[in-house]
A and B are shown apart, each in its own frame.
Chain A
Amino acid sequence: MTVIKTPYQILDVQPSATDAEIKQAYLSKVKDNPPDSDQLLFQSIHNAYIAIKDFKSRINYDLFTIPNVDFNELIDHALKVAPQDSITARQFNTLLQASVDDSTIQKAISQVTK
């Protein structure tokens, strides 16, 4: 799961990757995502490379980077259930019954008044 998007994840490399492996991954990503196709994506790839390109950069990243947590992605993961491609008749009927409340009738009455 990638709730915190790290430069390692952006470049698809392990945190233990060498400088050469990181550079290779960066060049490959740039090749697949040139700046003229998606400027933002290219920028994020480039920034990721700058952040971890050598040992000093990686230490710097580990020490001072404030991780950007995507809370929505976290919730998406927590609420993961089997994909639903249909609704049962019973479920439909339950929803239909639950749908009628005061607001339903009020909206309908306002239609009558009009």
Chain B
Amino acid sequence: MTVQYDIDSNHNENSLEQKALAELKAEHYKEAIELYKQLWETSDDKKWQQQLSYCYLQRATSFAERGMYREALLLWDNYTQFAESPEEALDLYICWQIQGEDGHKIQTALKQLSAQQIDQQFPELAVLLGCLILTEKPEFKRYLPQDSIFIAHLKIAQVALQAYLDNDQQQLNEVLKQIPYRSAFRDFKTLLNAAQNYPQSIEQALTKISVRSPYYQALSLLHCSTFEGAKLVQQLGKYSYSQAREIAEIKGFNNQQQQLIDSLVEHRDDISDQVKFNVLIQYQSLWPTGVAEDICKAMLIHYPEGHKDFKKHFNGLSGFEENRLKALACENKSNNIEAEAYWRQCVEALQYENTDNNLKMALILRHMAALQDDIELCNQLMIESLDYDADDLASYQHILHYFKQSDLDRAEYLQWLQLGLEHFPQNIELLTLAVQQEIENRQYKKVSEYALQIISLDPLNRFAKDILFSSYLDHARKLIQDKDYQSVEQYINQAQDLKLGQKNRAQVQLVLGLYYYADQDKSEGLALITESLAKIHKDPVNRCLQAAMEALLTALPVANILEGIETAENYLLSEQQLSQVIHQLNFYAKDFDHQLLLLKALDRVATTITNSLSQQNYEEPLLIELSESLEKINAFELLQHCARLAVERWNAVIWQYYLIYSELKGMAEKCSSAQINRLEKIGEQAINNKDERTKVLIDVFIEQYYQAHSETSTGLVDSLFTLNSEEGEGAYIDPTEQLFKHIPEDELLKVMDKSDELMMETTPEQLVEGLTQDSDKNEHILIAMMQDPDLFSALIVIKAAISLEIDIKLSINDVLGFFNVEQVAGAS
């Protein structure tokens, strides 16, 4: 774009000069040239001429830098029109002419060079000309000033090169010494020296020659030729085809190798599995016999598309091998379903072979099991694998774990445990499972046998020792209970001999005390009991609980045994002591037969525990732990007390569940429809809270309810009518039934339908908010609803009747009164 300016005044001229200077500084030489031309036309100022020559030279250079030498040379002509001494940039002009490849013009340009210029003024041009004369343009020599130092050094370099070609080491060394440091042939000298000491000196020479030197490429090629194999191929990619060929020639590669290099260089940016596979097939003669085949076979896992070519070029694969590779290829792509199908075909192929393939088949089946997401199918595969290799411990462990976890088929579990023990009678893990199983079966003799077997294999096995310890003491207690005192001491001593630490010693002392009390000296027995309990527990509640339980287990009078124990009344349990109570409950509850005795023992300390729960602020996890233990032994009253307190404090789903559960004494069949609705609602809350455990508890309880009732309907109306027809002895009477029995059936049906609808969309909190604005009373009603979910159902019925505008002749206060809840002022 041409820039046109008026320059009528000095002011304008100044302004134009500023603009021209600005363009020049911004390296916008084309625009600057236009402006300076205008300035130069108005006044023949030398200053404009200089600026113009500068701008033209800069433009020419920028074209040359982009490889546009023709344009550069045209601009050079413009430059010479304005430049006072254009020969100052003659080196550039000659370089551009060399690139322009016009022999005549190059010759003319070279002839313009003086000896002073080539020797001193243009050292880089001299290096380039020297390199060109020594390689592809020897004729340039003729056009250069023959009296120059350059020509003198050129002659020396040529002699040196000839001496090198003639292998005349002495002459070469002598001649090279004549090339001084400041010479256009310094890099050539370095290159020749490096070639003489090839390959050791190449790397060092690379640090001495600039990458822009015309000799650098030659040195770089020499360096490349020192590489071998894959590294050489990688390096060759940097050079032109002809240069790469020269290097290959030097290395002495044969045609096959040369073609392999060409192929690899061609795909150097992406040597895919396909390229590798094809290269291996095409140039297989470059490797020892069979290698290419082996590797191609291995590669089929990553490149399954190669199966066809593999068959074409090598011996075919057996059916088994083909499926094996396909299976691995699928696994490689995380396609386990197809992989499994191929593995199955492998097993089938192996079955038809004459050789003993049992182990292979077993291993494949186990491998398939490991790929399987479905645990049932996985287990089936493990079982199948044992048909072929029955002595695999890991398989038994896996199968046993599956049946134990799934809890589906107890008989199956026992059968596999038995099989496992038959094959691995000395495996401690299996023996441990056997111990656990016999504990469950209450086969204590077998428990002891297995435990003793474990100890014979592993004398320090703590699990087995603990089991034996308990077993001996249990037996001793049983003998005391049966008044068969003859061998009590023997069992006590056996427990003692296990040497399980201080606490266990105290347990032994306790049973010994019970024995003494029963058969020997009562006061000595009581003293031993008291002393041992003092060692085991620091608080009277735990002592009392254990004393009562031990007395019950040995059929001794509880009251007498407790005489020596400090009373537990008015004692407040610390968190740690409550935790110990839980531990005791869990310990004794392990034996189902002890459950009733445990409840009796618990009665002795129930008041103390109740008081502690009311007065101590225990953490929620501890109370959950306690509730779990109480639930296990059906201690409903204590559980209800605990749940009520917890609902007030945390109002969590688990406590709402425990409250309903304990109120119903664990009997799901006694659930009212309102309670079931409530349970379903809090079940949803449990899902929202991601409280899986509580959700499972609730689901199991609801399931028990539905199993107990032939009707599966969840509707409140259905429940009411169902209850109406269940007025037999012991049938549960829903309080809401009594409250609404006066309502005509057609109206009741409508109201109940609406109630079911409201039940689904209203929480107790929302319902209470609608009754009164008094937050204290709201909370009061809310707690009452938590304690008796039938209140919630009844209030929902009232709300349904109001919304349907059906007069059921009952108010909210009537309902609250019916449930003995303080009435709400202003409520209709």
- Find out whether the CB atom of A113 lies under 8 angstroms from the CB atom of B92: yes
B229 surroundings in chain A (CB, below 8 A)? 72, 75-80
Number of interface residues of A (CB under 8 A): 53
- Find out whether the CB atom of B212 lies under 8 angstroms from the CB atom of A108: yes
Q: Is A40 in contact with chain B by the CB < 8 A criterion?
A: no
Q: Is B240 in contact with chain A by the CB < 8 A criterion?
A: yes
Q: Is A91 in contact with chain B by the CB < 8 A criterion?
A: yes
Q: Is A96 in contact with chain B by the CB < 8 A criterion?
A: yes
Q: Is A36 in contact with chain B by the CB < 8 A criterion?
A: no
Q: Kindly identify which residue among A75, A98, A109 contacts B99, using a CB–CB cutoff of 8 Å.
A: A109
A75 surroundings in chain B (CB, below 8 A)? 229-230, 233, 260, 264
Q: Kindly identify which residue among B124, B161, B242, B288 contacts A98, using a CB–CB cutoff of 8 Å.
A: B242
- What CA separation (Å) do A66 and B304 show in the bound complex? 13
Q: From B188, which residue of chain A is reached at the shortest CB distance? A: A96
| Dominant secondary structure at the A interface | helix
- Find out whether the CB atom of B131 lies under 8 angstroms from the CB atom of A104: yes
- What CA separation (Å) do A108 and B217 show in the bound complex? 11
Stretch of B20-28, B247-255, B757-765 at the chain-chain interface? B247-255
- Find out whether the CB atom of B363 lies under 8 angstroms from the CB atom of A66: no
Scoring B residues 151 to 168 as 1 if CB is less than 8 Å from chain A, else 0, what string do you get?
A: 000000000010011110
- What CA separation (Å) do A15 and B199 show in the bound complex? 41
- Find out whether the CB atom of B230 lies under 8 angstroms from the CB atom of A107: no
Given known contacts A79-B260, A99-B243, A108 and B286 CB-to-CB distance under 8 angstroms: no
Given known contacts A78-B286, A79-B257, A111-B124, A95 and B222 CB-to-CB distance under 8 angstroms: yes
- What CA separation (Å) do A69 and B292 show in the bound complex? 11
- Find out whether the CB atom of B212 lies under 8 angstroms from the CB atom of A64: no
- What CA separation (Å) do A39 and B279 show in the bound complex? 35
Q: Is A1 in contact with chain B by the CB < 8 A criterion?
A: yes
B215: min CB distance to chain A, Å: 8
- Find out whether the CB atom of A69 lies under 8 angstroms from the CB atom of B283: no
Most buried by A among B92, B213, B214: B214
B222: min CB distance to chain A, Å: 6
Q: Is B65 in contact with chain A by the CB < 8 A criterion?
A: yes
Q: Kindly identify which residue among A69, A97, A103, A111 contacts B295, using a CB–CB cutoff of 8 Å.
A: A69
- Find out whether the CB atom of B228 lies under 8 angstroms from the CB atom of A82: no
Q: Which residues of A contact B (CB under 8 A)?
A: 1, 3-4, 55-56, 59-60, 63-64, 66-67, 69, 71-82, 84-87, 89-113
In the assembled complex, 20 residue pairs joining A and B whose CB atoms fall closer than 8 Å, in A order, are A56-B363, A59-B363, A63-B324, A72-B229, A72-B230, A75-B229, A78-B229, A79-B228, A79-B232, A79-B233, A81-B252, A95-B221, A99-B218, A105-B99, A105-B214, A108-B131, A108-B214, A109-B95, A109-B96, A113-B92
With A69-B295, A79-B261, A81-B252 already in contact, 20 other A-B pairs whose C-beta atoms are closer than 8 Å: A59-B359, A63-B360, A66-B302, A75-B233, A76-B228, A78-B260, A79-B232, A81-B253, A89-B165, A92-B195, A96-B135, A97-B136, A98-B246, A101-B217, A109-B99, A110-B65, A112-B124, A112-B125, A113-B61, A113-B65
